[in-house]
Amino acid sequence: MPAGDVTAWEIVAAVPDPELPVLTLEDLGVLRSVDVDQSGSVLVTLTPTYSGCPAMDAMRADVQRALLGAGYRNVAIQFELAPAWTTDQLGPLAREHLAAAGIAPPGEPGTPVALSLKCPQCGSLRTREASHFGATSCKALWQCSACGEPFEHLKVLR
């Protein structure tokens, strides 16, 4: 088992999401558990943002690389689909990181789905969805009428 003050949880928690690298797996809320047994074997449980998420293989490889690089020798990663991930698992810091990167975050938990989004560039609410399909399946493409800039929006999943 590796020595040092950094736990296996902290190592995995710091791994960036492959599709939203401004967020870590912990920020995104997909990191469910990290268990280390007495022999030093690690079992990581992740819940993807949806069952067909194309980033699952990249998440597995990135987590494995991070733990192996920290000295863990026996690493297993499993995906758990229930309970399903929702955007309610994004904390305030994750929402701030998305907005700072120019990606409109979904509304706070418990709020109704907005008909318009705040532009992450200029703050205007004069925005519209340009395409329900963005660079990844979990994002949509929006455009601001005030500043004219396109921006991505992390789709609300509840």
Say how many domains are in the chain.
2
What is the CATH classification number for the domain harbouring 54? 3.30.300.130
Q: Is residue 14 part of a domain?
A: yes
Q: Which of 58, 67, 79 is nearest to 16 (CA)?
A: 58
Predicted confidence pLDDT, tens digits, the chain (158 residues):
665 568 999 999 999 999 999 999 999 999 999 999 999 999 999 999 888 888 899 999 999 999 999 999 999 999 999 999 988 888 889 999 999 999 988 877 767 666 788 899 999 999 999 999 888 888 899 999 999 999 999 887 76
Q: Is residue 89 part of a domain?
A: no
- The Cα 151–Cα 134 span in angstroms is 9
Q: Within this chain, do residues 19 and 58 fall inside the same structural domain, yes or no?
A: yes
Q: Is residue 28 part of a domain?
A: yes
Q: Within this chain, do residues 68 and 115 fall inside the same structural domain, yes or no?
A: no
| 3-class secondary-structure state, position 128 | strand
Q: Which domain holds residue 120?
A: 102-154
| 3-class secondary-structure state, position 61 | helix
Cα–Cα separations (whole angstroms), residue 85 to 47, 48, 53, 56: 6, 7, 11, 13
The one-letter amino acid code at 54 reads P
